Amino acid sequence: MSDDRVTIFDTTLRDGEQSPGCSMNTDEKLRVAEALCDLGVDVIEAGFPVASPGDFDAVSKIAERFGDRATICGLARCRDGDIDAAADAVTRGERGRVHVFLATSAIHREHKLRMSTEQIVERAVASVQRAKERVEDVEFSPEDAYRTERDFLCEVVEKAIDAGATTVNIPDTVGYATPQQYFDVIKMLKESVPNIDRAVISTHCHDDLGMAVANTLAGLEAGARQVECTINGIGERAGNAALEEIVMALRTRSDHYGLTTGINTRKLSPVSRLVGGVTGQGVPRNKAVVGRNAFAHASGIHQDGMLKNPATYEIMRPEDVGFVGTDLVLGKHSGRAAVKARLTELGYTPDDATFAEVFDRFIDLADRKKEVFDADLAALMDAKLSGSGSNRERWTIKSLHTSSGTTGVPTATLELIEAPAEEGGETKIHRDAAIGDGPIDACFNALERIIGIEGRLDDFVVKSVTRGKDALGQVDVRLYAGGRDRHGRGVSTDIIEAGARAFLQALNRADADRRDPG
């Protein structure tokens, strides 16, 4: 790999998933992993295999399915059991990496590990060596590296490389560094560690002070050639460095950085929407690169400049990041081939079962709306992909009727279709009615009664997908059910229906876990 090529190490499925409420099941992780491969990510940190049987299963399946398209990495503490689990999982594929980490800063040594510097070095060396016995590609991270004494950091990095580490990662674990300070640390390692040329230096920056991307770019200027990042910048606390921002900064300011990546930038917006839908963490409108306002211009002065020359106020072209605007797309007479072709242009590759359901929803939407936009089509697809990860959800809505007003009691009557547990089994129809504080609350109560699961609603967000009174509405809900946070998304021109679909999607997740706890 040339010296100007940056390795993109995506940790959405590991560090990103640690963000509160962002947990994913195995099917969802596989879908995100496939999207990351399509995006051109070099290394996918697929999870922490020793953490649970579910994590081990997810990392193993990702390695089996995508290990020929990207390096699949498993995280491990400097413990034999962790290392063995990570190696067992990632070696299911062609290209596996074990990423071992051990805290090195004084505050972590004293208060968390209660280990001396000598013990830290001994443990780090032994762990890297054990990992090296299983895989050729070994990464070592001195956790909280930025707050580690410089001489000791150099010693640990040098010993880890001697033990066989091919990548050394320098985490700013608590987001404390400034860009100049982080630059100085990477530069110091380049100049002071005698064997540093035998390993790739990696960055891993957190966003506690809003400087994760700036620090990452500073690390690259100092000589790092791998960046650890996540889609939409999700992660613990304030999150990680955002992949899309790093990639587009390098591309847009290639005159300054002179560095390249293997990322297909036209896939950035679709992958951002996918991760936002799967995790339930919506992308803020003003999010750099992939937010809805990233290419919107409200100021009259800006609009005038844009009409004369888009380059006056746009440093990136919307199409370069796969941005979905409001271009008119298709009508109710459009055929399946045309709709599928448009989805492909928007960055989606649905399987036959998923497409059949989305196409049916598209035809229904086209009957209701005067105009159907690209963003509407993308919303239908995202709502489907943000589901349980299976095309065979147990419960679906057959019919919904509500009544409410300033007088009388709000009521909802629902019919749900229950899919058979086994192929060839009998489909059942369930009907029930409930009252509530309003029509949406009544819908939720009826759904809970039919399915037999109660959930505590923690968040309910409504937004329009496009413009106009008949705009498609999107509802995202987060509820606590079955001992876990659940996310659901629904879209419809009827916001009550959208809310019911979102709540049902979340209950389907809880029901799936109830039927299959493993």
Task: Say whether 206 counts as a known binding-site residue.
Answer: yes
> What proportion of the chain, given as a percentage, has pLDDT over 90?
66
Which runs of consecutive H residues, i.e. helices, occur in 67-178? 80-90, 106-108, 117-134, 150-163
**Amino acid making up residue 204:** H
**For 225-265, how does the pLDDT look when each residue is reduced to its tens digit (9 = 90+)?**
999 999 999 998 999 999 999 999 999 999 999 999 999 99
Is 445 labelled a binding residue?
A: no
At 295, the pLDDT band (50, 70, 90 cuts) reads: confident
pLDDT tens for residues 104-121?
999 999 999 999 999 999
* Residue 286, annotated as binding a ligand: no
Determine what percent of the chain falls in helix, strand and coil, rounding each to the nearest 5.
45, 20, 35
H or E stretch covering 170: strand 167-172
Residue 264 annotated as part of some ligand binding site: no
Identify whether the C-beta of residue 506 lies closer than 8 Å to the C-beta of residue 484: no
Is 511's pLDDT higher than 60?
Answer: yes
Distance CA 461, CA 434 (A): 23
Beta pairing partners, 401 = 413
Span 1-15, pLDDT tens digits: 668 999 999 999 999
> HSE-up of 253 (CA within 13 Å, CB side)?
9
Residue 299 CB neighbour total at 10 angstroms: 10
Residue 303 in this model has a pLDDT that exceeds 60: no
Residue 142 near residue 150 (C-beta atoms within 8 A): no
- What confidence score (pLDDT) does residue 285 get? 80
Token pair of 75, please?
Answer: 């995280």
Structure tokens at 49: 């295999």
Instruction: Report whether pLDDT(187) > 60.
Output: yes
Residues facing 484 on adjacent strands: 481
> Half-sphere exposure of 54 toward its Cβ, with a 13 Å CA cutoff?
13
pLDDT at 313: 55
Tell how many helices (H) and how many strands (E) occur in the chain: 17, 14
Query: Is residue 365's pLDDT more than 50?
Result: yes
Q: How confident is the model at residue 301 (pLDDT cuts 50, 70, 90)?
A: very low
d(CA 514, CA 109): 41
Q: What are the C-alpha distances in Å from 298 to residues 127, 295, 468, 469, 473?
A: 55, 10, 18, 20, 22
CA dihedral 79, 83, 89, 94 (to 10 degrees): 170
**Token code pair at residue 123:** 């443990």
Average pLDDT over residues 377-385: 83
Residues 75-92 have a mean pLDDT of: 98
Q: Enumerate the β-bridge partners of residue 9.
A: 43, 228
